[in-house]
């Protein structure tokens, strides 16, 4: 919450830079830890930085809103959302290979290298976008002039960071419902991922390496769902914008939301996961459960 609030006060770039700095420092300490007590202690520091992984989605949404036009945001947001499952699918393979051949400390050194490269890339290549003029389809500039923007930016910099300020959004029923919905979807998907590893190791007796490869099948569902969901969102938005312009009505971002699409995705995902559970219980051929997993991830996005 501190990072999320800092994002609004300090900007997006400083939060990324500080987060990756703590991640590098924490993982160096973890790799050099001589006992479990030291490891736990430096993991606290590492957690401060690696929380940027969970924050990256939120910051990515903000950056996309800053630099993409309205009719492009659907596909951009979908690809941004898909990156986390991609990493979760590849991570078991990378972690298993590193641990097996180089020992558990190699995982932390791998993180040090990865976060260091990311930190350098952010410092060199990532500009601050939070003060950018938002791009609309007619390339209209914001209604505030530059002097007012500078004044508001100065006030934001002087403001004390309140880590709980973002919780005020939960006062609105629509925001609360969206948070609950996304929480349940994420919970279900994570539980399915954990049960997948257990089921294919214990029920089908596959090795951990093969189970790791089976996780990659879910990337097919992620990619398909990301592309279809993004294209559908942009298409719905443009159709509603055109209709609103013809009737001289107000245009707002929520026009890209589709109740029918969300309901279809929820029920399809529920059906695929129920079928997956039935396949595990009845020991149906292992490929059926893998296909159900991929289809569930397709509906998720």
Question: pLDDT 10s digit of each residue in the chain, 301 long?
Answer: 544 444 555 667 887 788 888 888 888 998 898 888 888 888 888 877 766 555 666 677 777 777 777 767 767 777 777 677 677 777 777 877 788 788 888 989 998 998 899 889 888 887 877 654 444 444 433 443 444 444 454 444 555 666 677 778 788 888 888 888 878 877 887 787 778 878 888 888 887 777 777 877 777 777 777 777 777 877 888 888 888 888 888 887 777 777 777 788 788 888 888 888 898 888 888 888 888 877 776 666 5
Tell which residue, 6, 126, 113, has the closest CA to residue 55: 6
Tokens of 79: 């690809």
Q: What tokens does 209 get? A: 């390496």
Write the DSSP string, 118-168: HHHHHHHH----TTSPPP-TT-PPPSS-HHHHHHHHHHHHHSPP-TTGGGG
In Å, what is the CA distance from 41 to each residue of 15, 30, 128?
23, 9, 33
What angle in degrees, to the nearest 10, is found between the helix axes of 73-102 and 173-202?
30
Please tell me the predicted confidence (pLDDT) of residue 110: 93
Nearest-angstrom CA–CA distance, 249 and 242: 10
Alpha-helix runs per DSSP H in 247-285: 259-282
Quote the pLDDT of residue 4: 47
pLDDT for 141 equals: 37
Please give the C-alpha separations between residue 123 and each of 13, 50, 111, in angstroms, as whole numbers. Answer: 8, 17, 18
Report yes or no: 231 and 80 within 8 Å, Cβ to Cβ. Answer: no
Token digits of residue 78: 């979908």
Dihedral sign for Cα atoms in the order 255, 257, 260, 261: positive
Distance CA 256, CA 246 (A): 17
Query: pLDDT tens for residues 130-144?
Result: 654 444 444 433 443
Contact 163, 2 (CB under 8 A): yes
The full set of domain ranges for the chain reads 1-70+80-170, 172-301
The pLDDT assigned to 55 comes to 60
Residue from 57, 42, 49 nearest 87 by CA: 57
- Given a contact cutoff of 8 angstroms between Cβ atoms, the answer to whether 78 and 58 are in contact is no
What pLDDT, on the 0 to 100 scale, is given for residue 36? Answer: 85
Tokens standing for residue 238: 């443009």
Cα separation of 244 and 204, whole Å?
55
pTM of the model: 0.58
- The pLDDT tens digits for 235-268 are 888 888 888 888 888 887 777 777 777 788 788 8
> Do 150 and 159 meet the contact criterion of CB atoms below 8 Å apart?
no
From residue 25, give the alpha-carbon distance in Å to each of 72, 105, 126, 166: 37, 15, 21, 28
């Amino acid at each position: 919450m501190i990072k999320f609030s800092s994002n609004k006060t300090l900007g997006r770039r400083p939060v990324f830079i500080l987060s990756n700095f703590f991640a590098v420092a924490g993982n160096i300490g973890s790799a050099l830890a001589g006992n479990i007590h030291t490891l736990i202690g430096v993991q606290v520091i590492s957690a401060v930085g690696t929380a940027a992984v969970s924050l990256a989605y939120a910051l990515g949404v903000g950056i996309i809103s800053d630099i993409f036009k309205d009719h492009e945001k659907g596909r951009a947001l979908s690809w941004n959302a898909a990156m986390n499952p991609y990493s979760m699918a590849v991570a078991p393979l990378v972690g298993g290979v590193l641990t097996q051949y180089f020992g558990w400390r190699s995982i932390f050194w791998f993180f040090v290298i990865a976060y260091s490269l990311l930190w350098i890339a952010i410092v060199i290549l990532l500009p601050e976008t939070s003060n950018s003029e938002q791009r609309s389809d007619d390339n209209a500039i914001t209604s505030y002039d530059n002097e007012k923007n500078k004044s508001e930016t100065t006030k934001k910099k002087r403001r004390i960071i309140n880590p709980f300020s973002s919780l005020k959004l939960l006062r609105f029923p629509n925001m609360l419902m969206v948070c609950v919905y996304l929480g349940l979807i994420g919970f279900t998907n994570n539980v399915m991922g954990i049960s997948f590893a257990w089921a294919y190791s214990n029920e089908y007796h596959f090795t951990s390496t093969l189970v790791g490869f089976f996780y990659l099948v879910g990337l097919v569902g992620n990619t398909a769902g990301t592309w279809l969901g993004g294209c559908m969102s942009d298409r719905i938005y443009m159709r509603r914008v055109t209709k609103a312009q013809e009737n001289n009505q107000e245009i707002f971002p929520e026009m890209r939301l589709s109740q029918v699409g969300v309901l279809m995705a929820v029920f399809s995902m529920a059906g695929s996961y129920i079928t997956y559970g039935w396949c595990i219980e009845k020991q149906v051929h292992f490929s059926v459960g893998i296909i159900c997993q991929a289809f569930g991830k397709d509906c998720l996005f």
